[in-house]
């Protein structure tokens, strides 16, 4: 028979900390604290299974719940020495939510439940404190009416403020018992007027109403949004905790507060938090009164005048400090606790693992290892890899005022501020003048690369998480907000409009690529600081992980950043980005628009020394680490001249006819270029392009060694292969170039030839392709597009709808689609290694920097992941956590 209710209190409990899935985090930890003998008011937890039943059965409760609740309530009465609904000695309870993972502020709470005119009068006589009794009653009416009856909270605030004005007082604590009784009566009158029925006096009706409201809040819009943002499944449900009330508003010997066992911002080992004397819990967070610090040292640092809890209530503070130390030792993690002091006696109302900044997480993990609380592997598991973004990029000052004007996708983390520029050329010019710039575009293209490089941040109205802007921004370490669809951008007129706000060229905006928000004007920032704790933890992570971590790097600067962050090679060097330099684009266009091979070769001859120089610089930085270079991949249309002026410029350089060049550009136009004449198809139809690149690579590798550098581990990657015959043809061309260089220079560097698996056919025919390929690199950006039939640049227009409706759990361009794309990766890995046992396997799409996708790659048996340089630390830590998680699963 299913058990629906679990009791706790009086030094024991029916549950324990390991039952979070059933009892929720709050219920499991209340049970655990009770079992530890800590001062926990008695209560009971209604399980998450009741919530699941509630929603599966037209919001009805399972048979037997009523009887179990009655028995549990009787047990609470026995421990508390009071009776629920008794006029002379009333038991009051709180009703709170408690999902298995913390969702602060997302669901509902009701305090002081069990009060009505009779029990309030009885409470006043019992305590000899009518003011406390009527303060509790008016609070209960206000909270219950808002949470359970659905009334506007502001109505009651207006009544309260009116009464305070009439009495000439500023604080609630200055009101007397008679004032509070009159306010309670006014509250109830407003309820009857608004709802056409009286406020409920039956305490059992109150209890069931509050329980239903808490279960109902699981499906509130804010809770749904929070779950979607944190990837919490809807079917988890919430538990409900009913607990005997203790009161922090019984006078100057009572208080309530929240404390962290370490500073959640810095990680310092100090009892950090706030409390209020003569108050209830909601007062601490409501902002009506200014809370006071817990510890004296914190008060002194803040320059506060009111005493800390350590000074005002030294006995209760010492107990709280001792309990905090005990909880830290028990849970072996920093704790976030809620407490109440009633008439000088301390009670614990909650403990949970405390949320913290990345800086604090690092410090706490490292210091707890040094203190002997946890081991190195547990320390590695304590830091969320994604949170490291906070340490690697500037962030907005959380206390600064902000004027949010738009929001989009958080495409590349960090914050940036600068003057708005609407073209890449304009951005470059402004940056050259020493001005900070935000490049604002409807969407970016490869031709914007110079402006993106010059800008401090990038904002686009269109595009998704793997759009051109997002991918390039992450690679450069530039903050980026994409897909801010509410923006109307007029690049010609030099304006950006959102609602009634018009931003002009040169106006200042701030973007936050971590939250996806856009702000008008300047917002103060905090610069990242990497402490010694960072290096310590990353060193521990590197000893645990199995996956190697490389970087996607296209320039020597990218390569240096990658090395600085601990990359073990380059997993993707995109050669096309080298072609968009102003000095080179004309030669590229000459090559593309040439009708005859000799003209193409003339243009390529101009590019050869430039490419060779690029590769030499990258190889020198990498100092013998593996470098995977992808030969030219993008559709030719991305390089084509768009204006008459650009066509005329190409014609002048090539000595050709502009009209003829225009016709050639029109002829090369494609209806669907991403599935058109690109990748290896370019190498098949224009083999001299890949031959030039192969020569540049091999000669560069030789030159580096001749100049005293380390031998290059060169991996030449041929993109978009779908047929083994394509790879065979192009490998033969590259080998012929190598033979030619051997004849010319007497030697040729060692090199591997492999392919990018980015088409479903290639994944399915991997066994055959591996007969020729010496390595596979999974290009999961395009593999996701071609598997799902979804354009990554257009996905933002509908994927959010899919996410909000629960049709998909994660954006497949952010975190790999394990069941679809992931299965193709697994198939390709298995079939490829069946043919070639030592086949090197890696991933170089944007998923290479996503912790969840890295966990998949570990499980799939890949050798390495490759990501943008600024995500290398994240990947290193995620790879370590994947190794630890999979080891635990196998145990």
- Placement of tokens 């260089």 in the chain: 741
Yes or no: say if 114 and 206 are a contact pair by the CB < 8 Å rule.
yes
The one-character DSSP state at 372 is: T
3-state secondary structure of 335: strand
β-pair partners for 718: 755
Residue 452 · residue 515 · CB < 8 Å: no
Token duo for residue 262: 């370490």
Task: Return the closest-CA partner of residue 675 out of 791, 572, 811, 575.
Answer: 791
153 given a catalytic annotation: no
What is the C-alpha to C-alpha distance for residues 14 and 35, in angstroms, rounded to an integer?
9
DSSP sequence for 598-650: HHHHHHHHHHHHHHHHHHHHHHHHHTTSEEEEEPP-S-GGGGS--SHHHHHHH
Q: Which residues contact 398 (CB under 8 A, 6 or more apart)?
A: none
Helix, strand, coil shares, percent, the chain, to 5: 50, 20, 30
- In angstroms, how far apart are the furthest CA atoms of the chain? 106
Backbone angles phi, psi at 530, to 5 degrees: -95, 115
Q: Are strands 93-99 and 109-113 parallel, antiparallel or unpaired?
A: antiparallel
Written as six digits, the tokens of 681 are 């198809």
Q: What is the C-alpha separation between 249 and 245, in angstroms, rounded? A: 11
Name the nearest CA neighbour of 445 among 206, 639, 665.
639
Query: What order do you get walking across the sheet with 255-260 strand by strand?
Result: 292-293, 272-277, 255-260, 335-342, 345-353
Return the residue matching tokens 């599966």: 56
Q: CA-based angle 146:149:155, to the nearest 5?
A: 40
Identify the active-site residue in 468, 577, 847, 858: 468
CB 813 within 8 A of CB 465: yes
Told to judge if 561 belongs to the known catalytic residues of this protein, a careful annotator would answer: no
Strand 255-260 and strand 525-526: the pairing is unpaired
SS3 category, 591:
helix
Which position among 482, 573, 844, 857 bears the catalytic label? 844
480-482 vs 457-460, strand pairing mode: parallel
The β-bridge relationship of strands 437-441 and 272-277 is unpaired
8 Å CB contact between 871 and 566: no
DSSP 201: -
C-alpha distances in angstroms, 744 versus 692, 710, 747? 16, 22, 8
C-alpha separations of 490 from 40, 318, 419, 517, 668 in Å: 62, 63, 16, 20, 29
CB 341 within 8 A of CB 247: no
Q: Which of 108, 105, 98 is nearest to 20 (CA)?
A: 98
Partners of residue 345 on adjacent β-strands: 342
Q: Which residues pair with 754 in a beta bridge?
A: 717
Token pair belonging to 370: 């040094």
H/E element holding 862? Answer: none
CA angle 852/855/858 to nearest 5° reads: 155
Instruction: Tell me how far apart the alpha carbons of residues 513 and 414 are, in angstroms, rounded to a whole number.
Output: 5
CA torsion sign for 805, 807, 809, 810 is negative
Q: Please list the residues that pair with 864 across neighbouring strands.
A: 548, 842
Strand partners, 776: 755, 841
CA distance 13 to 20: 14
Query: What are the residue numbers of the active site?
Result: 468, 844
């Amino acid at each position: 028979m299913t058990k629906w209710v679990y009791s706790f209190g009086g030094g024991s409990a029916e549950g324990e900390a390991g039952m979070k899935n059933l009892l929720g985090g709050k219920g499991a930890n209340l049970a655990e604290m009770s079992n530890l003998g800590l001062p926990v008011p008695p209560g009971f937890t209604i399980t998450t299974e009741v919530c699941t039943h509630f929603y599966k059965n037209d919001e009805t409760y399972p048979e037997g719940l009523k009887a179990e609740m009655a028995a549990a309530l009787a047990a609470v009465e026995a421990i508390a020495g009071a009776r629920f609904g008794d006029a002379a000695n009333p038991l009051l309870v709180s009703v709170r939510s408690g999902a298995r993972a913390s969702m602060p502020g997302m669901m509902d709470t009701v305090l002081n439940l069990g009060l009505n005119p009779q029990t309030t009068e009885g409470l006043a006589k019992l305590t000899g404190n009518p003011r406390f009794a009527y303060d509790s009653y008016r609070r209960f009416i206000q909270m219950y009416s808002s949470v359970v009856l659905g009334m506007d909270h502001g109505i009651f605030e207006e009544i309260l403020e009116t009464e305070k004005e009439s009495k000439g007082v500023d604080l609630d604590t200055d009101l007397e018992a008679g004032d509070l009784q009159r306010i309670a009566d006014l509250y109830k009158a407003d309820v009857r007027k608004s709802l056409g029925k009286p406020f409920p006096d039956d305490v059992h009706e109150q209890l069931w109403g509050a329980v239903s409201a808490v279960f109902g809040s699981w499906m509130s819009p804010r809770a749904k949004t929070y779950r979607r943002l944190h990837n919490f499944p809807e079917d988890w449900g919430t538990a409900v905790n009913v607990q005997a009330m203790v009161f922090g508003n019984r006078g100057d010997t009572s208080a309530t507060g929240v404390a962290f066992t370490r500073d959640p911002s810095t990680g310092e080992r100090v009892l950090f938090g706030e409390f209020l004397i003569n108050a209830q819990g909601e007062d601490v967070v409501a902002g009506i009164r200014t809370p006071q610090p817990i510890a004296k040292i914190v008060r002194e640092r803040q320059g506060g005048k009111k005493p800390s809890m350590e000074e005002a209530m030294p006995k209760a503070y010492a107990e709280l400090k001792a309990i905090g130390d005990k909880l830290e030792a028990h849970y072996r993690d920093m704790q976030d606790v809620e407490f109440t002091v009633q008439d000088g006696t301390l009670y614990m109302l909650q403990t949970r693992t405390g949320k913290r900044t990345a800086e604090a997480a690092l410090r706490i993990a490292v210091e707890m290892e040094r203190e002997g609380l946890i081991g190195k592997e547990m320390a590695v598991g304590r830091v969320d890899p994604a949170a490291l973004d906070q340490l690697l990029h500037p962030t907005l000052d959380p206390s600064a005022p902000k004027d949010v004007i738009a929001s989009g996708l958080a495409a590349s983390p960090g914050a940036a501020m600068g003057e708005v520029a609407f073209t890449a050329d304009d951005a470059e010019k402004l940056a050259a003048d020493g001005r900070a710039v935000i490049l604002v575009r409807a969407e970016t293209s490869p031709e914007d690369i110079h402006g993106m490089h010059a800008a401090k941040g990038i904002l686009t109205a269109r595009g998704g998480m793997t759009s051109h802007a997002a991918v390039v921004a992450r690679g450069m370490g530039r903050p980026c907000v994409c897909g801010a669809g509410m923006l109307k951008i007029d690049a010609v007129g030099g304006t950006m409009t959102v609602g009634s706000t018009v931003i002009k060229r040169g106006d200042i905006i701030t973007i936050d690529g971590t939250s996806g928000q856009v702000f008008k004007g300047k917002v103060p920032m905090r610069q990242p600081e990497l402490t010694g704790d960072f290096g310590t933890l990353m060193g521990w992570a590197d000893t645990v992980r199995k996956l190697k971590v490389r970087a996607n790097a296209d320039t020597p600067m990218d390569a240096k950043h990658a090395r600085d962050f601990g990359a073990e090679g380059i997993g993707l060097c995109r050669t096309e980005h080298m072609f968009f330099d102003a000095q080179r684009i004309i030669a590229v266009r000459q090559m593309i628009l040439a009708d005859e091979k000799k003209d193409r070769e003339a243009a390529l001859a101009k590019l050869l020394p430039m490419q060779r120089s690029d590769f030499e610089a990258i190889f020198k930085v990498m100092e013998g680490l593996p470098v995977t270079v992808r030969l030219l991949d993008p559709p030719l249309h991305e390089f084509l001249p768009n204006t008459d002026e650009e066509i005329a410029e190409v014609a002048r350089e090539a000595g050709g006819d502009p009209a003829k060049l225009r016709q050639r550009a029109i002829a090369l136009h494609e209806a669907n270029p991403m599935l058109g004449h690109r990748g290896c198809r370019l190498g098949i139809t224009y083999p001299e392009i890949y031959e030039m690149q192969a020569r540049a690579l091999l000669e560069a590798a030789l030159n580096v060694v001749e100049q005293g550098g380390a031998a290059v581990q060169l991996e030449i990657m041929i993109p978009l292969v779908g047929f083994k015959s394509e790879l065979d043809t192009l490998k033969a061309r590259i080998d012929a170039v190598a033979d030619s260089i051997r004849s010319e220079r007497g030697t040729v560097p060692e090199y591997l030839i492999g392919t990018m698996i980015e088409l479903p056919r290639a994944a399915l025919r991997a066994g055959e392709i591996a007969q020729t390929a010496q390595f596979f690199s999974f290009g999961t950006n395009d593999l996701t597009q071609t598997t799902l039939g979804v354009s990554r640049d257009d996905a933002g227009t509908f994927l959010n709808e899919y996410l909000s409706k629960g049709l998909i759990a994660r954006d497949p361009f952010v975190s790999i689609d394990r069941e679809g794309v992931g299965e193709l990766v697994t198939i390709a890995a298995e079939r490829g290694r069946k043919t070639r046992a030592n086949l090197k396997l890696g991933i170089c799409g944007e998923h290479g920097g996503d912790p969840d996708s890295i966990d998949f790659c570990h499980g799939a048996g890949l050798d390495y992941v490759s990501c943008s340089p600024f995500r290398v630390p994240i990947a290193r830590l995620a790879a370590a956590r994947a190794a630890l998680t999979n080891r635990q699963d196998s145990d």
